[in-house]
Amino acid sequence: MIVDGNLARPMASRSDDPQFRPKLLQRPGMIGPLRLKNRIIMGPMGTNYGTTDGFSTERDKQYYAERAKGGVAMIITEAMNISAGARNHNNSLCVYHDRFIPGLNAVVRAIKNNGALAVAQLNHRGQLLRRSVLGMEPVGPTAGSHPATGEPVRALRVDEIRAIQRDFLDAARRLWRAEYDAVELHAANGYLFQQFFSPRFNRRDDSYGGSLENRMRLLLETVELIRNELPDFPLLVRISATEYVKGGYNEEEAIALVQTLERAGVVAIDLSGGTNESPQLSRYCIQPPSFPRRCLEPYARPLKQAVTIPTIIAGRIITPQDAEGVLEANSADFISLGRALIADPHWCVKAFGEAAAPIRRCISCNVCFERLTLERDVACVQNPMVGTEFESLQFLEPQLSRAGPPTTRQRLLVLGAGVAGAEAARMAAALGHTVEVWEVAETAGGQVPIALAAPDKEDVAGVWTYRVDELQRLNVPIRLGMQITADALRRFAPDLVIVATGSRPRPAPMPLDVHVPVLQAWDVLSDADAISPGAKVTMIGGGMVGIETAEVLGGRGCAVTVIEIQSTVAREMARNNRFDVLMRLEQYGVQLLTETVIDGVVDGKLLLVRNGESIRHDPGDAIVVAVGPKPNRDIISVLEEAGLPSVLVGDCNQPGDFLAAIRDASLTVLALTNRLPLRMSELDAVRANSGGRNACPENCMT
């Protein structure tokens, strides 16, 4: 990438070497009678791509087929519902009736036809069922309350336990008929089997509670049922290697469980960790970026050493180096990739050198999981095409399949060298168009340095480094410190200008007549010396930027008070990540005043209204404002003067997150394969010829 002769790279990549080629990962392996072509398995993750009636869709087929094309050896499809009364999500896949078999067989064929083995996971959420999802009733080993919602949990009777076990068996039969290669029982992450196994929840005094043998009984009887009825259908079991909480089962009990499962004929142990019973504990299942890479390894290794059947491990394994390191340490036999394969379905072929493009690394933002929790379909910051028909390499990495320049080669100019601008330029160049990026600042990256300023956000750099590395590979110039005038634009003569000028922080919503500095959160995050350590600071705005700024200041010993009008801070942050930050804010003594309105300023103090009570708040040594961004469209008048067609992408179009910005940019550039917007002069001519009426010729894009 040429930048007036210099390489622009405002932040360095992690030490992960993009040229690294793993050896152990590429070796074939066996799970029972199944031969896996390499050591990468796609872990089971919900998507909400199915119908509300529980049927699989063309979207499911495309999603799984693309990851099979991407080179994984085995795909474990999302947890399926074994009972009409135990639905996971509004759109989760079901297998409690024969009517679901044809659709599931179509998914299986899509996987197998593209070179991967297909395994189905079966689950019952037990006490983690929610009435808010299709009226599901929480049930469990013991009467109590739902750990997150407080809904009453009813204890299962023995006859109901027997019925659930039959439901698992009947579901396994249907999976065999649907031509799956194997089935996995989900006994991890706080769901029904784990609830019976954990002494935290199982307080029964019958044969299903009390002793270790009794607490294992529900799972082992279910395994025995399936093994007896389907002896040639390989059976895997997923467990949490640890609950990460006091009162749960210990390592000795976990070892006893996996050894007993091996004796029962299970062909592999799939190791996860933690429990999804609450956002605080769910962090150990779906880890935020504060968790180390390979975080589950210390808990998984003793279990691997205790059995002779293969073990599979998950836990923030992001790069090929991470995965290879697990195998080198002999901590597991196979690697389970989850979010990493949402971010990049072609992780394997890239890691193995079969596709000459960098891996889009998962940044652990957990947008995917948050959307699922909110009963929305899964999306991804790094992969704007996930769940669409545009997720193939042809669209994600067009340069790999392009035989030559496009039929109509466009000359494009991107204004703004942030993430949206870089994505637009990358896609345009990959499609064969001529493109340059102009940036008025002296550095590229846009808001990425601000996003990286908070603790434990190093992985977020992948949003930028993937794109800037590709721009370098595609020889796209990024010109910094540009003065953008109408004359300069006309001289460049682009067919289209893609405006990606981002946003700027909004000012405080009211005049602040105070005698202390009033700063923007962006400035505080950009300048470590903006506020002295130990200062007393008032933060106006408790969104994600405000909360992360409060964390930075709290870590420097500042006494921080956050004022937020909403009932919850950082609503736009994935809840696992949010609770991770909130725990640290509590350690720092940060005070959060939610549902609080600033009613004015009196004698240099903020007049707050909270719960109907008026409070005078001393702002301390500084006020920091974090009330959101507003679009930066200053360049529009210059474009109008130049008479050039343009399109807005990213924050200058509509402020949002990296997901919105990247999706804006990617799909806007793909639209260039259709028709370009008209130039101003062409539009004026159209209007004149139509007598002032609204009209659109064949080459008009409205």
Token pair, residue 88, equals 């996971």
DSSP code of residue 479: E
Assign 637 to helix, strand or coil: helix
Contact 477/3 with Cβ under 8 angstroms? yes
Looking up tokens 């029964």, which residue turns up? 204
Outline where DSSP puts E strands in 388-446. Answer: 411-415, 434-438
Query: Looking at the chain, how many residues does it have?
Result: 702
Partners of residue 311 on adjacent β-strands = 269
Furthest C-alpha separation in the chain? 87
Integer CA distances (angstroms), 30 to 36, 43, 106, 122, 477, in order: 6, 17, 25, 22, 48
Sign of the four-CA dihedral 127, 131, 133, 134: positive
Token pair, residue 84, equals 């009409």
- Whole-number pLDDT of residue 698: 38
Give me the DSSP letters along 220-235. HHHHHHHHHH-TTS-E
Token pair, residue 555, equals 């870590």
* Strand pairing report for 613-617 and 605-610: antiparallel
Contact 138/151 with Cβ under 8 angstroms? yes
Contact 500/414 with Cβ under 8 angstroms? yes
- Whole-number pLDDT of residue 403: 67
Gap between the Cα atoms of 136 and 129, Å rounded: 6
Contact 278/127 with Cβ under 8 angstroms? no
Gap between the Cα atoms of 225 and 216, Å rounded: 14
Burial of 207 (0-12, 13-18, 19+ CB in 10 A): middle
Contact 581/551 with Cβ under 8 angstroms? yes
Closest CA to 323 of 78, 117, 121, 26: 26
Closest CA to 632 of 446, 464, 437: 446
Partners of residue 292 on adjacent β-strands = none
Rounded to a whole number of angstroms, the distance between the first and last alpha carbons of the chain is 34
Assign 337 to helix, strand or coil: strand
Cβ count within 10 A of residue 643: 15
∠ CA 39-88-318, rounded to 5°: 30
Helices (H), 5-100: 58-69
Closest CA to 251 of 271, 234, 236, 232: 271
∠ CA 557-513-566, rounded to 5°: 60
Sequence-distant (≥ 6) Cβ neighbours of residue 283 within 8 angstroms: 274, 291, 576, 579, 580
Contact 399/474 with Cβ under 8 angstroms? yes
Integer CA distances (angstroms), 101 to 54, 175, 355, 398, in order: 11, 7, 35, 36
Gap between the Cα atoms of 394 and 399, Å rounded: 8
Angle between helices 251-263 and 212-229 (to 10 degrees): 30
Q: What are phi and psi of 387, to 5 degrees?
A: 80, 10
What is the signed CA dihedral for 605, 606, 607, 610, rounded to 10 degrees? -130
Assign 472 to helix, strand or coil: helix
Active site residues: 191
Helices (H), 431-483: 448-452, 462-473
Looking up tokens 């399949």, which residue turns up? 401
Output Rg (C-alpha) for the chain, integer angstroms.
28
Encoded amino acid at 589, one letter: G
Integer CA distances (angstroms), 92 to 108, 135, 576, 667, in order: 16, 14, 21, 27
Q: Kindly list the structural domains of the chain, giving each domain's residue range(s) and its CATH number in brackets, ordered by start.
A: 28-355 (3.20.20.70), 397-504+631-689 (3.40.50.720), 507-627 (3.50.50.60)
Q: Is the pTM of this model over 0.75?
A: yes
Angle between helices 101-112 and 58-69 (to 10 degrees): 20
∠ CA 348-335-175, rounded to 5°: 90
DSSP code of residue 264: T
For the chain, 702 residues long, the average pLDDT of each consecutive 10-residue run is: 41 57 96 98 96 96 98 98 93 97 98 98 96 90 92 97 98 98 98 98 97 98 98 98 95 98 98 92 93 96 98 97 97 98 98 94 95 94 93 92 76 97 97 96 95 93 95 96 97 97 95 94 94 97 97 97 96 93 96 96 95 94 97 97 96 95 94 69 56 44 32
- Whole-number pLDDT of residue 697: 39
* Per-residue burial over 232-259, b = 16 or more CB atoms within 10 Å of its CB, e = otherwise: ebbbbbbbbbbbebeebbeeeebbbbbb
Sequence-distant (≥ 6) Cβ neighbours of residue 67 within 8 angstroms: 42, 75, 116, 341, 345
Burial of 492 (0-12, 13-18, 19+ CB in 10 A): middle
- Whole-number pLDDT of residue 685: 57
Burial of 219 (0-12, 13-18, 19+ CB in 10 A): buried
Integer CA distances (angstroms), 345 to 21, 287, 360, in order: 18, 20, 9
Token pair, residue 441, equals 């600042």
Q: Residue 6: how many CA atoms within 13 Å on its side-chain side?
A: 9
Gap between the Cα atoms of 653 and 418, Å rounded: 14
Gap between the Cα atoms of 599 and 159, Å rounded: 60
∠ CA 71-76-77, rounded to 5°: 110
Report which secondary-structure segment, H or E, holds 588. Answer: helix 575-588
